[in-house]
Amino acid sequence: MALERVKSVKYFVLLIVIAIHRTAACAAIDEPAAPDFGPNVLIFDPSMTSIQSRIDAIFLQQERSEFGTGRYAYFFKPGAYRLDVQLGFYMSVVGLGQSPDAVAITGAVRSKAAWMKGNATVNFWRSIENISVVPTRDHNIEVWAVSQGTAIRRTHVRGNLNLWDNGWSSGGFMADCKIDGEVTSGSQQQWFSRNSDWNRWNGGVWNMVFLGTTHPPQGAWPERPYTVVDQTPLIREKPYLFIDESGHYFVMVPRLQSQGSVGTSWSTPDMPGNAVPIDRFYLAHPDTDGAASINAALAEGQNLILTPGIYHLESPIRVTRPNAVVLGLGYPTLIPDNGSVAMMVSDVGGVEVGGILFQAGPINSPNLLQIGPPESSASHADNPSFFYDIFCRAGGAAVGKATCFVTINSNHVVAENLWLWRADHGKGVRWNANMVQTGLTVNGNNVTLYGLFVEHCQGYQTLWNGNGGRVYFYQSEMPYDPPSQALWRHEQAKGFASYKVGDSVLDHQAWGLGVYCVFLRAPVIADNAIETPEAPGIGIHHIVTIRLGGVAGSGMEHVINGNGGPVLTNRIARVD
């Protein structure tokens, strides 16, 4: 009997073992395979124990790597974490929840400027999206000390937020964020905030624009540097990644808001949009993909995700399908090696492109990003295309040339957070080396820009030829390096205005424009910072011009159209 009982027990144990193995096998079958985002996307979940050491090592590599080749994105699955997440160059932090509060990081997700002794004026190319933070570092303050080419989106700071690190800082972008406490802008020279909510805003230097925000700061232009526009007239929030309860990946494409909006999009449980499965995206990799393979996938109807890295393109990436979605992870960089356009978008509606760094190659490109062919004429009023976090550069990392960084030919395009930069430092930086004539050219009608930064191009920084244009926030610095007035002029005019509205335009409005100059090589002068036709439908609201330094006798003669005082010494001029 005892032997029989032993056999029975062994058999029972065997059944249990088999059942466990079957359960594990079924779980393995049900568990979705992780998409291949490449080696530079690090995916974390709360059960992991070595996250801090891994992210510390990457930060040490990227903290000073302004023109390096590393590109990284951190994905955090829903849950609670205790971490100090520091961001250097070309780094993105992404929460994978359906709400920012689904990923809660206690500690910090921060951009500091210790490597420059607090000077954050070159803290470029880093971003945060779709997370919540409980700050316990830096005296329990979240520090996001950045300048151009950055973004903080869809983020909940459960405390206070500083936009500086006790040194200089030079502009940034915030959208769809909630800060429970106070935002202190400190030394931020300019800043653009859209559809965000905070308890209090403290600070302001030259040019701060608040669009569709709750609790904007008190004070009126020009005594205070604030431009407040109550509602955002038209927006579709940037698409974002998330995972469902089963671990399947999707890209949420939020709905279009066209009736005027205030505050965050995620403040209520109802967050309508279209959840697109990840298998409808082609995941491109820089070591194996070029324009040919990417275009083949797009032609088959796939959307596109560019995983982190540097892509050398033999020809343009062509986005031809309406409602196509193209997203970059961790600042993927597109370089046209043969002088072509890097990306061409057809004259179709509903396209969404975001999170890409375009870098000019050694052979001159006519454009780096072209939206619509020159003959574009279709109306996309019911289904506009959106472009988010688009950054272009020529020089800095290497010699690069382009006639224009971005040209918009299509109608009803909305773009936000564009930094178009002819480099003023780094490699290949000379008047006859990193040559770019114009930063942005707009030929389409009814084009809207939220947060436009254009710097150091050799002609107009912005040339706007379409009617119905709307611009909310403009930051621009003229080129440092014109070698002489004879080489920096056109027709009978000295220099080039930064912001030029074409002579035939009848309808154009812009709010909160800052134009600055530092002419380091010669005593050159720009006749005007801004030029527009004199037409009833044109209004430029709140302008500041500043001469930051430079050769004696250099500067800007007028603010706009021959009006407004000169900035020919270290001084500032404002126009309402």
**Distances from the Cα of 234 to the Cαs of 20, 207, 260, 348, 540, in angstroms?**
54, 22, 6, 18, 20
Helix (H), strand (E) at residue 7 = helix 2-30
For 255, other C-beta atoms within 10 Å of its C-beta total: 12
Extract the tokens encoding 58.
């990457």
Beta-bridge partner residues of 415: 387, 449
Return the closest-CA partner of residue 371 out of 443, 439, 301. Answer: 443
Long-range contacts, stretch 246-250, CB < 8 angstroms, 24+ apart:
246/30, 246/32, 247/31, 247/32, 248/32, 248/277, 248/278, 249/32, 249/35, 249/96, 249/277, 249/278, 250/275, 250/276, 250/277, 250/278
Residue-by-residue DSSP string for 33-52: PPP---TTEEEE-TT-S-HH
Q: ∠ CA 221-165-46 to the nearest 5 degrees?
A: 115
Do residues 414 and 428 make contact, with C-beta atoms less than 8 angstroms apart? no
Burial group, residue 407, by CB count within 10 angstroms (0-12, 13-18, 19+): buried
Count, in order, helices (H) and strands (E) of the chain.
Answer: 3, 42
Beta-bridge partner residues of 194: 175, 211
Which ranges in 285-355 belong to alpha helices (H)?
A: 291-299
CA 455 – CA 25 distance, rounded (Å): 57
CA 153 – CA 468 distance, rounded (Å): 27
Count the alpha carbons within 13 Å of 364 in the hemisphere toward its beta carbon: 11
Extract the tokens encoding 115.
């490597």
**Distances from the Cα of 317 to the Cαs of 92, 278, 417, 517, 536, in angstroms?**
23, 20, 21, 35, 41
Extract the tokens encoding 387.
């472009």
4: helix, strand or coil: helix
Do residues 223 and 200 make contact, with C-beta atoms less than 8 angstroms apart? no
Catalytic residue among 63, 237, 416, 477: 477
**Burial track 365-396 (b if 16+ CB lie within 10 A, e otherwise):** bebbbbbbeeebeeebeeebbbbbbbbbbbbb
314 is annotated as an active-site residue: no
Active site residues: 477
